[in-house]
Each structure stands twice: as structure tokens, then as C-alpha cells.
Amino acid sequence: MSSLDGWSPLDGWDGWDGWQQRVPSTSTLWLALTHTRERLVAPMPEQGASAVPERPACGDAVFSLPEQTRVQLATMDLLSKFRVARGATAREVTVTDVDAKHLLTLSAPSDEAFTNDLPKVEAWATQRSERSAEILNQLSYNPAFWSVILPLSPQRTPRTLELMEVWVAVCSYLVQSCKVLFNLPRPSQWSPRIQPMIAVPGYSTFPGGHAAESHLLALGLTELLKAANGQATTARIETAAGLMKALASRIAANRVVAGIHFTLDSDAGQQLAEALLAPVMAAGLQNENAGDSVYAQLWQAARAEWMPRDCTRAV
């Protein structure tokens, strides 16, 4: 057994795309399947025709879908519940739900606020050597960092991992909608002393996307655990919640250390995540019995993965 057991392409994060990952992809596979069909079907007599052909059974409409298709549909479902628009002034952006209920108003920091934050961004650059491995592995959403706090795996918690993808995607879309309205410069555009250690994204600095996504993951997973335990908060859930909150803060801070964000961006990203939490959780309970919402069905399937169960086995 490899020391990387659980992380190999056949048994880990690279195996999420389904059975195709486990079937050798060769140029002769199609030929082998064709010959197999010929040998199996040709000797078998045709079934007699009937006036009304028998209709084959259908699979579950949502969970028979490929994983990525299900995630896309759930993302679209959840994203439709939010609106981002210009606020009362050009320096304000509001986030509301689909019924126009106000969730959050973000205000662009003043030039003075950014100038005052620059020394902190420059000072935090001294941590780059220590945090470089984290920064590079957090360029995009990386579930491995969350799996060391919760027992996440494609085999044990596939729906939870899908749900996390949905939260990250929805957060990303909403953050980008805010960014394009604010259009505020990155730290390195303010000062050549910042010298970021990674490529600077070509869009607005405010609010921080990594901060928003990470804090929504920390908050959402905590609430999912509580929902699976009848809203009871156990010592294990409290410990996990504290560690996930600390992880979210560290991921956000790493973007400042890398020189591509202000701490002001991270604060705004956290505020956005906190504002989204309640409607994101409420959407999971929508049509719980009717099953009309792909997102709700995915949320409920993820919750079921954390419900207490008797793991004993009769001998």
C-alpha cells in the first residue's frame, strides 16, 4: 500500500470524475466493446414486438446525473436566489435575495483607508517563505485543507464535497459581480514596494474572493453538522467549527501575505459570507418533501452523510 493511499488517482481527489477515471482509456477499448456486443447479441433471438414497448426504468433524476452536471445545476439553482446591484451611491453595492430582502451593503473603502492598510500588506510579506506552500496550494479552491479537519473523502462524503463546490462557485460569482461594480486597484497598483509573489488577478481587489469562499465553507459546514445532529452542538462540532473558522481566516490572510489583497478585502469577504449563510441554509430546506430544487436535494443528501448512525456490526 502506498504512503499516498487515499490520495492516488484511483482512490482520492483525482478520482472524483467518476468511473471513467477507473477504466483504462485506450484506443482499442471501443473495438473490444464492439466485438463483445457482437458475440453476445448475435446468437440471441430477437424479442417479439409488442404493441406497447416496455418502458425501461429510469434512475434518480438528480443523483443519476454526472457529478459535474449535478454541481452545475445546483449552483444555478442557488445562484438564482441572489441579486447584486449598485447601491444608493456609486461607492455602494447591495446584495439581496430573490425577493429583494436586503442581505448586505458593501461600501468601497476610501483612498485613505487603502493607504493606511498598505504598511500592513508590506509587513506581512515577511511571512512569504513560511507560507509559500500554502499560498501556492490555495491558488484555487482546495478541499484537502478542509479534509484534515473533517473526515471528508469522495468515498465517505461525496455529496458534501459536491455541496462545497456549489458554495464556492456561488460565492465566486457573487464576489465577481461585486468586484466589477467596485473596480478598485490591487495593493501592487498602489505601491511598487509590494511586489506580489504570485500573478496579480486582472480584476478588482474588493471584496476578497478567497475570504468569502473560505468563510462560507467554514460557516456552512458547521451549520450542516448541526442540522445533521438535530441542531445540537456537540464538543466535536464546536472544535471543528473553531478550527474551520481559523482556517478560513488563514486562507484569507495568505492572500494578503502574497501581496494581492488588502486586509480590508478580507474583512469584506467575510461579511459577505456571513450575510449569505442564512439564505444558503434555508435554500437547503426548500421543498424538502417536494424535491423540486436540485440544490435542496444535494444539501439534504449531504446532511444525511453526517447523521449519527450505528457503526457496529454483528459478528
Q: What is the pLDDT of residues 120-135, one digit of tens each?
A: 999 999 999 999 999 9
Average pLDDT (6-17) is 40
Mean per-residue pLDDT over the chain, rounded: 89
- Return d(Cα 73, Cα 80) in angstroms, integer: 11
Q: Is the pLDDT of residue 232 over 90?
A: no
Min mean pLDDT across 35-39, 192-196, 257-261 is at 35-39
Predicted pLDDT at 46: 74
- In this prediction, residue 14 has a pLDDT band, given cuts at 50, 70 and 90, of very low
| pLDDT number for residue 168 | 98
pLDDT on residue 26? 62
- Higher-confidence residue: 17 or 182? 182
pLDDT of residue 34: 87
DSSP 22: G
Helix (H, G, I), strand (E, B) or coil at 102: strand
Residue 47, CA atoms < 13 Å, CB-side half-sphere = 6
Contact 105, 92 (CB under 8 A): yes
The model's pTM: 0.85
DSSP 3-state of 93: strand
pLDDT for 16 equals: 38
Q: Average pLDDT in the 57-81 region?
A: 93
The cell numbers describing 107, all together, are 461600501
25-29, 156-160, 215-219, 240-244, range with the lowest pLDDT: 25-29
For residues 283-300, average pLDDT: 83
| 67-304 topology per CATH | Vanadium-containing Chloroperoxidase; domain 1 (1.20.144)
Mean pLDDT highest for which of 45-49, 88-92, 282-286?
Answer: 88-92
Cβ atoms of 162 and 67 closer than 8 Å: yes
| Arithmetic mean of pLDDT, 59-88 | 95
**pLDDT at residue 17 greater than cutoff 60:** no
For residue 72, pLDDT over 80 is answered with yes
Is the pLDDT at 282 greater than 80, yes or no? yes
